[in-house]
Structure 1
Amino acid sequence: MKLYRKLHFLSIAFLFLIFNSCSTKNNNSFIISGSISNLETDYIILSQIENIQTKKTILIDTLKVNKRGKFNAVYFLEPTIYSLTFDNKKTLQLAIDKGQHITIEGNSSEDLIVSGSSDTELLNAYETFRKASLKRLVTTVRDSIKNLKTQQVNEQKITELRTLEVENYKIHLNELVQFVKENMGTSIAIYPTSTRWNNENLIVLEEITTNFQEAHPNLEITKKLLDRVQLLKKTSIGNTITGIKIPDQFNNLIELDSIKGTYTLIDFWASWCPPCRTESTLLNNIYTTYSSKGFNIYGISLDSNKERWLKALKTDNRIWTNVSTVEGFNTAVAKEFGITSLPTNFLINADGKIVASNLHGEKLKAFVEQLYN
């Protein structure tokens, strides 16, 4: 009996040494466990969000769920954003750092409570704030536009509200960055927020990424955040845009450099974007007024349906240079300049230097007037 106890003790000690050795070599360990009583399947799918911008995921594992609905697994994986899919229909996004023990409890895939990850809690808090901010600033304006359309009111009022929608969306994005700065520290949960970063907050974003790099110097998502900031710098005021070459509606390859005027507005838009469509009238007015003085527009459509793009060109009387590869947000130049929302524009001078960005409505009109008058 004493021999058995001794051997048992040695076995436990040996296993501890093995686990400790693994942990020493790779301390990025975390645990996922829990109990869900009424799952339809006997497994849960764990995936890693490899690229938050393109939403590319990698299948990591299928967690076995026993007959009592319990599951438990230890992973030696890098801190990043993961997702768990239940019953092939319900997906939870998790921000996981090393050393965390994530527990999921519930009666079904529609009734889940997650605990054990402060980063996931921050990610959920960000999402709650984001939805509330969007509703307060943007959705309410869109609802007002819908109501006015049913009343067949003056189109000028709708145009004003479309401009307000765009301006409020910019405020919304600024609020999100401020939330990250004030609440998220160096949490892994910062990475998903980068999909809504823009070049108007570069100073703050550089501070956020610098702090994140200091806390997580070797993570893959650290590199992605740094790359995101560098990408946004390319479209900040004072930098130069050149070398764009995209086919027009007649399949002629049009170089931006070949049509540049004294000032050129690079306008990212799409037929499915109501504010973009509404702004066509204003752009037409500015173009007609100042094209003789050297003003030009290079309209880049992020449509993925060519027929809709061509129909919008005709309907909106977009008589300036219009180009598209009809690849939506997968358009190479959209990726190169980090375009994640529409409308987005950059005003460049004859040398290709950015003098203004994301000016819309009367602000854009006034800025162009100031340039030529």
Structure 2
Amino acid sequence: MKKLFLTLSCSALVLITYAQQTYSLAGKIRGEKANGQTVSLWADNEQKKIGSAVIKNNSFQIKGAIHDPELVRITIAPTENSDKKLWKASHFYLDKGNVQLSGHIDSLPSYYYNPNLPNQKPIIEGSRAQSLADQLNRSITDQKQVLSKLDKAYMQEYHLPAIDGKFNTDRGIAILEKMAPYKKTVFEKKWAFITNNPTARVALDEASYMVMGYGEESLSKIQMDELLQIFEPSWHGKKTFIDLQTAITKAKATAIGSNILDGPILDKEGNKVQLTSVFPKDKKYILLEFWASWCGPCRGEIPHLRHTYATWKDKGFDIVSISLDEKETDWKKAMAEENMVWHQYNAREGFNSKIAESYDIQGIPYALLIDSNGTIIKHGMRGASLDQALEELTR
């Protein structure tokens, strides 16, 4: 029996060994300040250090093993305890085999993004996964450049004036309408990349970003199921695919066409109520918005919400705001300061509250547009997107 157990254990060890693939990362970092600095390689969403080395003669080498290609972050620091403002950092796909990285210490991206500092990503060679990522990025470069310019115009002509109480609604909607075809093209190219590369980790990651709402368009439940069908044959049983399945299960709960999720919240008198019991029943469209007093972007959006509420409240529109403030005094102070006259509730446990976990809220502001039947009809309802949606729905 002991011999059998030993044989099985050795077999399992062999399988694990074969599952892993070795890599060798050879770096060339030019510049006088590079030598003596410590290079670290981080995986598992930057939670795990998988290797480190000290730059000598402007070179370093890190060797190890990975199960699959993975998006990693490399950091370069004078010392591990030095101010991170002095650090350099960049993401790239690490792959099996011999991978080369090169760059200049003075031009590499800083650890904290700073638009006033150089931001030249290192050159990566020998990584098939990174080559695929570069291929995808090149295919959408033109559209991304146009979207970047339009986004700056939106910020200057709509968002910043709105914070100061000037609402250039028509202009904001016009810019969003210009953005729409470019976003559609980017989405279509990403989707084609995913379907054409079902075995690639880059494609799997891109699908995950879409599911989590970081893409150009919100996914339908049908599209989410298509993603599972695309990746299941190559990734079944692997942690990355299981993570995608989990993310899709959560995303489906708030996908367009789903009904709003219930959960306990507190009213202004401190009474515990269920969301569905207090949700307006006599309105055509309701904005369900999660925010907090300490959230800068949330506070910056409130002047626009006041304006939109005043414009549309007599046309079948309402707002339900749920604060994730953990201190009642902070919540009530912000409500008074911002003159938030619509429905206000509080989830006292913040992101750990049942209602926030039900909606899988990872960041705020988080806003959904709901119809009179309690059905989710729009995601990402911020700024002129909300005005655009209301105008389209009430035509």
Pair in the same fold by TM > 0.5: yes
In the alignment, what sits opposite 1:213? 232
1:62 deviation in Å?
2.0
1:345 deviation in Å?
1.2
% same residue = 16
Find the residue that maps to 2:40 and give its secondary structure. Answer: strand
Using a 3 Å threshold, how does the CA distance of structure 1 residues 180 and 318 change in structure 2: closer, same or farther?
same
In the alignment, what sits opposite 1:113? 123
Pairing 1:103–2:103 present: no
TM-score, normalised by the number of residues in structure 2:
0.67
Deviations 1:234-258 (A, max 9, x none): 1224422232223355554342122
Deviations 1:70-90 (A, max 9, x none): 313132344332111112611
Q: Gaps (5+ residues) in structure 2?
A: 1-13, 78-83, 109-121
Using a 3 Å threshold, how does the CA distance of structure 1 residues 240 and 123 change in structure 2: closer, same or farther?
same
In the alignment, what sits opposite 1:344? 367
In the alignment, what sits opposite 2:166? 155
Using a 3 Å threshold, how does the CA distance of structure 1 residues 235 and 213 change in structure 2: closer, same or farther?
same
Pairing 1:32–2:25 present: yes
Find the residue that maps to 2:241 and give its secondary structure. Answer: helix
Find the residue that maps to 1:137 and give its secondary structure. Answer: helix
Pairing 1:61–2:59 present: no
Deviations 1:108-163 (A, max 9, x none): 2635321122322444565674853541332221122378689x9x934x233445
For residues 67-146 of structure 1, the aligned pairs below 5 Å read 67=57, 69-87=59-77, 89-97=87-95, 99-108=96-105, 110-111=107-108, 112-124=122-134, 129=141, 132=145, 134-145=147-158
Using a 3 Å threshold, how does the CA distance of structure 1 residues 248 and 60 change in structure 2: closer, same or farther?
farther
Question: 1:234 pairs with 247, 253, 270, which one?
Answer: 253
Using a 3 Å threshold, how does the CA distance of structure 1 residues 366 and 148 change in structure 2: closer, same or farther?
closer
Deviations 1:36-87 (A, max 9, x none): 244254431111133xxxxx62223323444552313132344332111112
Larger radius of gyration: 1
Whole-Å separation in 2 of the counterparts to 1:366 and 1:113: 46
Letter of the 1:155 counterpart: K
Whole-Å separation in 2 of the counterparts to 1:283 and 1:305: 26
Letter of the 1:223 counterpart: I
Pairing 1:47–2:42 present: yes
Contact 1:276 1:342 in 2 (8 A): no
- Of structures 1 and 2, the one scoring higher in RCO (CA 8 A, sep 6+) is 1
In the alignment, what sits opposite 1:259? 278
TM-score, normalised by the number of residues in structure 1:
0.70
Whole-Å separation in 1 of the counterparts to 2:288 and 2:48: 34
1:276 deviation in Å?
5.2
Whole-Å separation in 2 of the counterparts to 1:183 and 1:113: 22
1:208 deviation in Å?
3.7
Using a 3 Å threshold, how does the CA distance of structure 1 residues 30 and 325 change in structure 2: closer, same or farther?
farther
Question: 1:282 pairs with 308, 312, 328, which one?
Answer: 308
Find the residue that maps to 1:92 and give its secondary structure. Answer: strand
**Across the two proteins, how many residue pairs are aligned to each other?**
335
Using a 3 Å threshold, how does the CA distance of structure 1 residues 347 and 148 change in structure 2: closer, same or farther?
closer
Whole-Å separation in 2 of the counterparts to 1:90 and 1:311: 40
Question: 1:323 pairs with 325, 340, 345, which one?
Answer: 345
Contact 1:256 1:298 in 2 (8 A): no
Using a 3 Å threshold, how does the CA distance of structure 1 residues 143 and 289 change in structure 2: closer, same or farther?
closer
Pairing 1:360–2:386 present: yes
Cα RMSD of the aligned pairs, angstroms, is 4.1
